């Protein structure tokens, strides 16, 4: 390979669909969520990378046609940077990981969101279909590029819709390679799809989508990977498996936003949680909100003992409450079956609401499972908080609706609880929660904010975050914390001067 040039990938005889690769890949591994811009769109930021597999049968070359099956509507493109492994990697360090990457190329990680619900994160059906992984058209020598300075661009019918760089990754490329290698051997020819930034959306028959990866500083490019969308036949057989289905949450995630999906903004809820206030609460950390509430005399607002089933999840919404009482056999016979209080709550939760369940801290049975979590997601609930257990916890974690609880438990509700009443004051994790209270959760826990105080509390918390970030910069620069944290008059004057300079 001539220095400073990218070259066409070697074609395999009678295997033109693999012409964008040096060989048929043994494995194709894709990252679920890896760009800051995409995480901001989805409202959740993972604490660690997670992955799924795609089959080699899904590989296609540039100029290929991707089919949208009859009876479906949400075929979505995702421009991505693909890494091709050049030397086997097993338990390699982050520092050594990039040396195992031989080539970089462009990819389009197509997915059919109509089939996404029942995949529960595996993406087998919605992303594993034939032709759903175009790669190419050229390979860039990994030795000639800085993995932190690659650029990804996607054009939809000639319009630039994705434009980001690897500087915007949550997890650097070398970290992804090293992390995967501690779990399995990456073999020569394996492909890693490294996630998509904001701008991925839906394409329809007749559309053309192009993806290009380049290294501007090195003057290298993969060229444009072109895929055309066409109608396909309806080949789904109900007798064999689940059929395509969509809801507004899938439409929003496929299109990239509610507005793009033609759904319009979510209306403010009864507590007055406007989109603007919700956005500020999404930005503010629970720890910061807790500190501000304590300064205002509220110290018993933490729902203790609960944690997210999916680390990195942020939850904001208004409370819709549900109360369980201790199980008594005669009461369970009268209140536990049929269309009970639990089912009524999950059927009536409104968009933007968080279901808060009082289970008395009893984790000896589940208080919800995957079916009810799916219902909450379909209703566009903002989340679920329970101070009891969660059945089907791994499946619930993959459904997508934020769930905070005491952990998993296999037993059904009637082992410990009777679903009793809803939309009343409850005690969850030692905190009193009223219907309409604002609930905010992240990896530090879950907090309750009285609705009337929310605006002033979140504004103060965000101001404190800015101040704390400035203090952290001074500590990194070598200043001792004495007098700086908390700030004395001298440091306070310096901070105000710095803030005035930025504001000016």
pLDDT in tens, 79-131: 999 999 999 999 999 999 999 999 999 999 999 999 987 776 789 999 999 99
What string of DSSP letters covers 361-388?
Answer: T--SSBS--HHHHHHHHHTT--EEEESS
CATH number of 310's domain? 3.50.30.40
For residue 412, give its domain range: 275-454
- The CA R_g of the chain, rounded to the nearest whole Å, is 25
Classify residue 377: in a domain, yes or no: yes
Q: What is the CATH number of the domain that holds 76?
A: 3.90.850.10
Residues 249 and 364 placed together within one structural domain of the fold: no
Which of 222, 255, 288 is a domain's end point?
255
Same domain assignment for residues 348 and 402 = yes
Q: Which residue has the tokens 């729902």?
A: 303
Q: What separation, in Å, do the N-terminal and C-terminal C-alpha atoms of the chain show?
A: 52
Question: 396 and 321 in one domain?
Answer: yes
Asked, for residue 265, whether it belongs to a domain, the answer is no
Residue 337, pLDDT > 60, answer yes
* Domain end marker among 255, 283, 300: 255
How confident is the model at residue 501, as a pLDDT? 62
Contact partners, residue 504, CB within 8 Å, separation at least 6: none
Choose among 52, 80, 77: nearest CA to 66: 77
What six digits make up the tokens of 286? 């629970």
| Cα–Cα distance measured from residue 116 to residue 118, given in angstroms and rounded to the nearest whole number | 6
Tens digits of per-residue pLDDT, 358-399?
999 999 999 999 999 999 998 899 999 999 999 999 999 999
| Distance (Å, whole) CA 265 – CA 202 | 19
The Cα 8–Cα 15 span in angstroms is 15
The domain tally of the chain equals 3
The verdict on residue 214 lying in a domain is yes
- Tell whether 187 and 298 lie within a shared domain: no
Is residue 23 assigned to a domain? yes
- Find the farthest-apart pair of alpha carbons in the chain and give their distance in angstroms, rounded: 81
Last residue of a domain, one of 255, 287, 321: 255
Do 404 and 450 fall within a single domain?
Answer: yes
Quick one: 192 and 174 in the same domain? yes
Task: Mark whether 398 and 491 lie in a shared domain.
Answer: no
Angle at 496 between CA 492 and CA 498, to 5 degrees: 115
**Does residue 387 sit in the same domain as residue 490?**
no
The pLDDT of residue 3? 38
Question: Do 386 and 314 share a structural domain?
Answer: yes
Question: Looking at residue 465, what DSSP letter applies?
Answer: H
Q: Does 484 have pLDDT greater than 60?
A: yes
Residue 120 domain flag:
yes
Domain assignment present for 270 = no
Cα gap 369→378, rounded to integer Å: 14
pLDDT given at position 272: 53
Q: How far apart are the C-alpha atoms of 248 and 264, rounded to whole Å?
A: 11
Give domain status of residue 69, yes or no.
Answer: yes
Residue 481 domain-assigned (yes or no): yes
- State the pLDDT at residue 270: 44
For residue 4, the model assigns a pLDDT of: 44
Instruction: Give which of 181, 195, 183 is closest to 87, Cα–Cα.
Output: 181
Q: Residues 231, 324: one domain?
A: no
- List the one residue out of 67, 83, 77, 68 whose CA is nearest residue 196: 77
Verify that 284 and 350 share a domain, yes or no.
yes
DSSP state of 241: S
Please report the pLDDT score of residue 491 as a whole number: 85
CA 417 to chain centre: 32
Do 423 and 475 lie in a common domain? Answer: no
Has residue 271 got a pLDDT over 60? no
């Amino acid at each position: 390979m001539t220095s400073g040039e990218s070259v066409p990938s070697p074609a395999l005889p009678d295997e033109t669909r693999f012409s964008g690769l040096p060989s048929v890949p043994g494995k194709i591994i894709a990252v679920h969520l890896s760009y800051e811009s995409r995480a901001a769109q989805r409202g959740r930021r993972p604490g660690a990378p997670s992955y799924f597999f795609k089959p080699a049968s899904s590989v296609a070359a540039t100029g290929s046609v991707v089919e949208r099956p009859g009876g479906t509507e949400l075929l979505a493109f995702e421009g991505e940077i693909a890494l091709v492994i050049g030397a086997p990697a097993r338990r390699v360090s982050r520092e050594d990981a990039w040396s195992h990457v031989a080539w970089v190329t462009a990819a389009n990680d197509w997915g059919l969101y109509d089939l996404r619900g029942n995949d529960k994160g595996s993406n087998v059906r919605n992303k594993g279909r034939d032709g759903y992984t175009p790669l190419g058209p050229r390979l860039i020598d990994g030795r000639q590029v800085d993995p932190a300075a690659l650029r990804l661009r996607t054009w939809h019918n000639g319009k630039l819709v994705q434009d980001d760089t690897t500087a915007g990754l949550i997890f650097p490329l070398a970290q992804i390679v090293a992390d995967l290698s501690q779990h399995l051997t990456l073999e020569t020819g394996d492909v890693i799809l490294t996630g998509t930034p904001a701008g991925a959306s839906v394409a329809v028959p007749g559309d053309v989508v192009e993806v290009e990866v380049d290294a501007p500083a090195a003057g290298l490019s993969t060229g444009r990977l072109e895929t055309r969308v066409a109608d396909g036949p309806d080949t789904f057989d109900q007798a064999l498996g689940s059929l395509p289905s969509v809801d507004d949450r899938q439409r929003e995630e496929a299109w990239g936003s509610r507005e793009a999906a033609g759904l319009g903004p979510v209306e403010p809820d009864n507590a007055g949680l406007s989109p603007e206030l919700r956005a500020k609460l999404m930005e503010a950390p629970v720890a910061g909100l807790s500190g501000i509430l304590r300064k205002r005399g509220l110290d018993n607002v933490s729902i203790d003992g609960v944690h997210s089933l999916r680390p990195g999840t942020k939850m904001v919404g208004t409370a819709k409450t549900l109360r369980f009482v201790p199980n008594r056999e005669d009461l369970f016979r009268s209140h536990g079956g049929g269309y009970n209080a639990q089912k009524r709550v999950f059927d009536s939760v409104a968009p933007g609401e968080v279901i808060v369940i009082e289970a008395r801290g009893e984790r000896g049975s589940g208080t919800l499972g995957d079916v009810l979590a799916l219902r909450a997601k379909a209703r566009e609930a903002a989340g679920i908080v329970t101070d009891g257990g969660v059945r089907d916890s791994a499946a619930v974690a993959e459904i997508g609706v934020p769930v905070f609880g005491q952990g998993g438990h296999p037993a059904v509700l009637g082992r410990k609880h009777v679903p009793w009443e809803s939309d009343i004051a409850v005690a969850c994790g030692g905190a009193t929660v009223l219907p309409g209270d604002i609930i905010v959760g992240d990896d530090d826990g879950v907090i309750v904010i009285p609705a009337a105080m929310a605006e002033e509390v979140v504004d103060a918390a965000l101001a404190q975050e800015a101040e704390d970030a400035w203090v952290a910069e001074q500590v990194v620069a070598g200043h001792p914390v004495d007098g700086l944290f908390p700030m004395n008059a001298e440091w306070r004057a310096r901070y105000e001067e710095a803030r005035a300079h930025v504001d000016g």
